Structure formats: C-alpha cells, structure tokens
Amino acid sequence: MLWNHRCIGLAGIMALCANGCSNSGLPSANNENNQKSGRVVKIMPGPKVQEETQTALIKAEPGDTIEFGEGTFEFVMGLSLAKDGVTIRGQGMDKTVLSFTKQSAGKEGLLVTRGNFVIEDLTIQDTKGDAIKVNDVEGVTFRRVKAQWTGPPKETNGAYGLYPVQCRNVLIDDCVAIGASDAGIYVGQSKNIIVRKCRAEQNVAGIEIENSIDADVYDNVATNNAGGLLVFDLPGLQQKNGRRVRVFNNQVFANNHVNFAPKGTTVSEVSPGTGVIVMATDQVEVFENLIKDHQTQNMAIVSYHIMMKPIEDKDKDYDPYPEGIYVHDNEFANGGTKPAGQLAGLFTALFLGKPVPDILYDGVTPPHAPAGKKFIFLKNNGNATFANIQWKEIPDKKGVSDAVWHGQLLKHAATRVKKDIKEYEGELPPLPPVKLPGV
C-alpha cells in the first residue's frame, strides 16, 4: 500500500519436449514402462535434468509423482505443468534444491495450470520471476516447500514466492519464503484457504491474503520483512470483496527490513516497520497473535480511500470499506517507536510524539452508514493503545508550507484524533473455521 504526505503506504513457459535419458540408474522421466497412472518418476541431478523434468511434467498422468533425489538441480528455463493430480516431491527442503540461478527463459520457476496439485519437501531457489505460480485451479497443496532468493535482498528478485491465484481449496503448510521483492507467501482472488506453520522473512511483504474468501492464517511467523502480514482488497480484479478471514496464533514481530522493491511499484512505497494491515476487507477476525517490535506501526485497519486513488466505474461493486473487523485477545508491544520513511513526519506531528498507537484506524466508513454504527470491534488486547485518525478530515498539504501543514496537523491531532479505545470495545460472533477436503 502507498502512503504519500497524507496516506499510509502499506501493498506457458517454455516447454522442453526433447527426449532425455536417466543419468542415475533410476527410472527415466520418459521411460515407456512408466506410463501407468500412479507411477513414481525419479530424477537425479545431472546435465539432462532440464529435459528429464519437463518431459516428466508433460507425460505425467493423474496420480503420478515426480520425485527428485537429494542434491542441487540446475535449470536454465522455467518449468510448466498442465496435468491434473500430479505430485512433485523432494527429499526435504534442505536436501533437494531446484536452482534457477542460470535461468534465461520463463517468467516463473514453475507454472501450474491444473488442479489437485501437490508440491512438497524441496526448495526452489533464485528464480528469474515468481518461484511457484499456480493459476486458476481446484486443489493446491504446498507442504514443506521453501521459496528463496539467496544473497542480499534486491529488487531483481522475483516478486512472489508461493503464489496461488484464482484457486479453490488451497493449503500452504509448513513452508518458508525468503527474499521476494513483493510478497513471500501470497494468495490472491482465491477461496477456501489455509496458510499455517509457515515462516516468511526478508521479503518486502511476508504473508498476503488479497481479494480472497474464507481463509485461515495461523501458527505462522512473519519477521524481518518490510511488512509482516496483510489482508486486503483491491479494485480492478475479477474477484472482489474478500471476506471471512481469520488471522490467529501468529508471531508477527520486528518487520523492519529495508524495502527493496523495484522503484515505481506500489510496494516500493511501503514504509519499513509495518506489522498487520487490514484494508478494505470485511469480516476479518484477528486474535491470539503476538504483534510487536514494529518501528512504524504494529497494526492498521484502513479503507482503500487511504490509497488516494480513484475507483473506476467498472468497479462499482467494489467495497472499499473495512467492516466487521474483530481484533481480540492479542498481545501488542513496543510498536511505533521509530517511524520510518514517509510516515515519520506525519506520525510525529499527528500523535504529538511517540510511540505510535498499537492499533491505528483511519475512521473512514460507508457514506450512508447509520449514525453510531461500529465497523471495528476491539476486546482484550492487553495494554494496546489506539487511535482513530479521522483520515477524511486530515488537512491536505497541497499548496501549503511544511510549517503551516504541521501546525494544521497538530490542531487536528488535538481536536479530531480519537484515542479512547473504549469507544470501540465490543465483540462479534467468531468466524467459522475453514475446512479443506482431506485436511
């Protein structure tokens, strides 16, 4: 997301069909004796691994497993899978590494366009673009998979690590994402999602749930990203108005990493030090999380209007307001002690010093909402502090000097900013858990 002077910025590949032969004594990817459904095609490191792997992906049948042995596998082109019901398996994320350091073709490391897909027990490393993209399928499982860009984080890293989009029944379990120049673990425009027991670090954004319906995000660790855990809706997408997202039992701490996104992108404006963000999504329950040590802000609940971008006529059904947000039983600590980036001056003036309150609300509500109706509910968050900054009433900086604008902000802070958390105390019925087939 993007903050300027008044807003907080928080936001088939080439198929190789040549015949290959095994270099390991194991069944070859193109062995005619292995065409039976349910077979296991084993691949070992060697000079023909690119051919063997893509041939196996092309010839795979439902129920087949493509199994990589131990070692590092060097690829120069992206891989693609367009068959249902295929499992890709390694020997463990620290034992099987698919390296794309020398990749010269393809937008992803692996692109999957068919469902009932499982990938487990391996690492995909240093892809030119996204590490693993799964597009418009039913049934996706990532289990014990690491997506990683090695070396110091840089803007030439791929945008997304684990990247299912427009999918149904998604499980991301016990995975790791490191070094993505946008989001390490990103689920977009999808339905029925579980992200659990994962770790995201050194990404611009750790974990993102975007324009999605029915998601459980729990038992994860997000640390040392520029932004930790984001749940939001954007206009202009096929699936609008995400809802029913539970974020619980996560550790979101010290997401103060430098922002290394490519210049000119929305995420390049994200200020380091962002914990949990809920933007323009309805029915989000955030509970029993540890959220601490974010230099800029621990948590924000905001509308899309804070982006200061127009909503086009074609998006008339898009709802830009967060509604039914229930934040309870979390532990907040040590947030907002050193606001970074474009937020530093605004927060210092607006809150009359530091620290920035733990829970920040922009206070923007639907224009025809009944008077007194609450859209966020807070309960049992320990000693968490709060501020409704009354975003729509913040004075515009355009055409005035910094000194004059800061004076206007001070007046706004003294008269319009609401810091009494009791006004928003309350509770909502718990959201139902997400259920996935076989999980």
Average pLDDT over residues 366-390: 93
Q: How far apart are CA 139 and CA 108, in angstroms?
A: 20
pLDDT digits over 300-321, tens only?
Answer: 999 998 877 888 888 889 999 9
Average pLDDT over residues 222-231: 96
User: Can you give the pTM of this predicted structure?
Assistant: 0.90
| Residue 210 confidence (pLDDT) | 96
| Residue 266 confidence (pLDDT) | 64
Q: How far apart are CA 292 and CA 241, in angstroms?
A: 29
Query: What percent of the chain has a predicted confidence (pLDDT) above 70?
Result: 89
Stretch among 29-38, 343-352, 387-396 having the lowest mean pLDDT: 29-38
| Residue 211 confidence (pLDDT) | 97
| Residue 357 confidence (pLDDT) | 94
Q: Which residue has the tokens 């010839």?
A: 59
pLDDT digits over 63-72, tens only?
Answer: 999 999 999 9
Stretch among 11-20, 184-193, 212-221, 415-424 having the lowest mean pLDDT: 11-20
For residue 282, the tally of other CB atoms under 10 A from its CB is 19
pLDDT for residue 425 is more than 70: yes
Q: How far apart are CA 181 and CA 268, in angstroms?
A: 9
pLDDT for residue 21 is more than 50: no
CA distances (Å), 315 to each of 202, 367, 368, in order?
A: 34, 17, 19
pLDDT for residue 232 is more than 80: yes
| Residue 411 confidence (pLDDT) | 87
DSSP state of 184: E
pLDDT for residue 25 is more than 50: no
pLDDT for residue 32 is more than 90: no
| Residue 438 confidence (pLDDT) | 87
pLDDT category of residue 342 using cuts at 50, 70 and 90: low
- The CA radius of gyration of the chain, in Å to the nearest whole number, is 23
Q: How far apart are CA 195 and CA 183, in angstroms?
A: 14
User: φ and ψ at 75, to 5 degrees?
Assistant: -120, 145
What's the count of helices (H) and strands (E) in the chain, helices before strands?
3, 31
Both tokens assigned to 271: 């200020």
CA distances (Å), 438 to each of 51, 117, 170, 171, 435, in order?
A: 34, 14, 12, 11, 9
| Residue 37 confidence (pLDDT) | 65
Q: Tell me if the domain spanning 32-424 has CATH number 2.60.40.
A: no
Mean pLDDT of the chain: 88
pLDDT category of residue 261 using cuts at 50, 70 and 90: confident
pLDDT for residue 22 is more than 70: no
Average pLDDT over residues 27-37: 40
| Residue 176 confidence (pLDDT) | 98
Average pLDDT over residues 71-78: 98
pLDDT category of residue 400 using cuts at 50, 70 and 90: confident
Both tokens assigned to 368: 């025809």
In the chain, domain spans: 32-424
For residue 392, the tally of other CB atoms under 10 A from its CB is 13
Higher-scoring residue by pLDDT: 429, 38: 429
Q: How far apart are CA 198 and CA 122, in angstroms?
A: 14
